[in-house]
Amino acid sequence: MTNRQFSFRKIFDSPGLMLVFIGIILALGIHGFLLINQHSYQGTYDAYVHIFFASKVKNHLGMTWVYNWFEGFDLVSYPPLVPQLIAAFSRWMPLERAYVAVQLLAITLMVTGSYRFCRLWLAPLPSGYAAICAALMTSMAQQIHQFGQLPTCFATALVLHAMYYFSRWCLTGAIGSLVAGLLYTVITSLAHHLTFFLFFPVAFGIVSLTLSMGVNRYDRQCQAPVFRRISLFFLLAVMSAGLVLHPFFEFVLQKMPHQAEIPHATRANYFADIASMLNFFIAPLASCFLGILLVPKIFRDHFLLRPLVIGILFFCLLGLGGTTPVPAFIFGKFWKIFTFDRFAAWAAVLLLPMIGYLFSLIQKPILRMILIALQASLLISYFAVLRGVKFQPDPVDLNPVANFLSQPDKKTFRYVTLGLGSQMAKLSYMTPAPSVDGLYFTARTTKVLRNSGIEAIDSAKYFGEQGQKVLEAYLEHPEDYNLRYAVVNDEFYVAMLRKHDWRLLQGNFGNLKIWESRKTTRALPKSYFKQRSSLGSLSQFFWSCGIPVLLIAFFVDARIWLRAFSHGEVNETRVN
């Protein structure tokens, strides 16, 4: 085999890539075990929501109308890529296992993307150590095992890959790098809108400033070409992402309903709520605290790392949520719809080069191992705390209830769940019967819920008097909402059901109880279940293009990487 041919043996001869390989194995081992064997996603906030959306697009990737929640809503308002990927994987495995498969893909992309992002400033070896630390980040663990925020995790990893190829394009002018960077940018916009709108611009600004400052200091003859390439990439990225996001923009500008603010702990003053500070700010940044300690020294001593430091401080400031007036000032009226834990998680990602820099300062292997062990101990501590705190009701067997609601004479009536938590979404993909409630607040169409300021009827008791008022509106007048059944997992709601003339049905439903309204409720007409999205064929094409574009991006990426690796050029990406 010649020098210019690819050989897996070369990976083991490259210390940086070998560390990336170890990081991938470590990440898949830790998170794969928790997801597959411990079913950690079952206790998260959003995992079942993503699975539910996947069940809706499983047989038709262009399907965007969902009748199961509220009074029906258009899924075009939600990022399409992750549900479509889960749906694609579910052709070979159950839906929940497909969710795990996509999550493991996101984890792999996060580790490799972290290495590539760090290579802009660091040599291969410290970048490889940073990739191992990416596998041990508490911020990623929190997104995966506590929040179930797969789209955020997936899109953040894609941004790191996009920035890698953006920097290669600016430094080399290689068309392949431009194409790969744009493909990853488009995929980011389809994977998670907020990550594209909030994290991508900051990462792009950091890399652009770093490149500009680098050529200005070290090679002024390259200034004009680099500036032209930055401008061209920006222009093409905006145009291509704007094109595929056309259906989403159309929804926001024409169809997005007004919503009353739903209270969230990240919009409160953390100094008045220490538990929220620990959960939403300290926990995601815990594994990067050594990088934070290095920030003043790095800002003083390393000119090209200053844009990165500014980006880190900016995200940390936004991650404090309502503790400072800065987020409300920056986002204006949109401040009330954001949750701010994501900014602390993004700050942790940007801190990875700082962690890699720390490894570059440590020469003794034993000290490097101690530092990795410290990272691992922080992750283990987070898991220990997470295990002792319950964020969702205990898992229950939903099959008896799903079978009951799926009967022909039952599935044309709406139901409501009380005390199921995120398992409400699981029940929604187990039965064709529609619910008056739902866990996707942006698109809910029912006026009572839009104006309520509560998350869900299912969790009404946690919203005090306002939650009770909303619940009673449904229980007292179920005929207004075609509501007939209530699936109860919390005795708190029994008194209210009795008060409004609901009766307990006899039957073996496991730990759950089913109540039925005594009032005459009409079934939903057949036309309700046959409604479809009003998306045009072009918009449906853009909505459904995520998986093909992702596959093309992987193919282009693999060709570029293999060619560069075979020529011994895979490490030539640093600015300085």
pLDDT digits (tens, 9 = 90+) for 380-430: 999 999 888 888 888 999 999 999 999 999 999 999 999 999 999 999 999
Asked, for residue 57, whether it belongs to a domain, the answer is: no
Residue 47, token pair as written in the block: 């995992």
Residues 245 and 324 in one domain: yes
Asked, for residue 1, whether it belongs to a domain, the answer is: no
Q: What is the model's pLDDT at position 218? A: 62
Asked, for residue 70, whether it belongs to a domain, the answer is: no
Residues 109 and 237 in one domain: yes
Residues 299 and 377 in one domain: yes
Residues 325 and 258 in one domain: yes
Q: How is the chain split among helix, strand and coil, in percent rounded to 5?
A: 70, 5, 25
Under the banding of pLDDT at 50, 70 and 90, the label for residue 3 is very low
Interval 248-259: pLDDT, tens: 887 777 777 778
Residues 166 and 264 in one domain: yes
Residues 144 and 91 in one domain: yes
Asked, for residue 428, whether it belongs to a domain, the answer is: yes
Give the residue among 57, 138, 47, 166 at the shortest CA–CA distance from 96.
47
Q: Which domain does 486 fall in, by range?
A: 399-526
Residue 72 zone, left/alpha/beta (φ > 0; ψ -120 to 50; rest):
left
Residues 219 and 239 in one domain: yes
Asked, for residue 50, whether it belongs to a domain, the answer is: no
Interval 162-211: pLDDT, tens: 999 999 999 888 899 999 999 999 999 999 999 999 999 999 999 999 99
Asked if pLDDT for residue 506 goes beyond 80, the answer is yes
Could you give the number of structural domains in the chain? Answer: 2
Residue 27, token pair as written in the block: 């990440």
Q: What is the model's pLDDT at position 199? A: 96
Tokens 């139901």 correspond to what residue?
Answer: 415
Asked, for residue 2, whether it belongs to a domain, the answer is: no
Asked, for residue 55, whether it belongs to a domain, the answer is: no
Helix (H, G, I), strand (E, B) or coil at 133: helix
Question: C-alpha distances in angstroms, 292 versus 102, 352, 357, 431?
Answer: 31, 10, 12, 48
Mean per-residue pLDDT of the chain: 88
Residues 520 and 483 in one domain: yes
DSSP β-bridge partners for residue 287: none
Mean pLDDT confidence for 215-229: 76
Residue 298, token pair as written in the block: 């790095």
Asked if pLDDT for residue 504 goes beyond 60, the answer is yes
Residues 380 and 242 in one domain: yes
Interval 11-45: pLDDT, tens: 545 777 889 999 999 999 999 999 999 889 998 99
> 379: Cβ–Cβ under 8 A, 6 or more apart, which residues?
30, 136, 137, 138, 141, 287
Q: What is the model's pLDDT at position 5? A: 47
> 192: Cβ–Cβ under 8 A, 6 or more apart, which residues?
79, 82, 151, 152, 154, 155
Return the half-sphere exposure (C-beta side, CA atoms, 13 A cut-off) of residue 98. 22
Asked, for residue 84, whether it belongs to a domain, the answer is: yes
Residues 309 and 176 in one domain: yes
Instruction: Give pTM, 2 decimals.
Output: 0.93
Interval 89-123: pLDDT, tens: 999 999 999 999 999 999 999 999 999 999 999 99
Residues 480 and 562 in one domain: no
Residues 334 and 445 in one domain: no
φ and ψ at residue 255, rounded to 5 degrees: -120, -10
Q: What is the model's pLDDT at position 239? A: 93
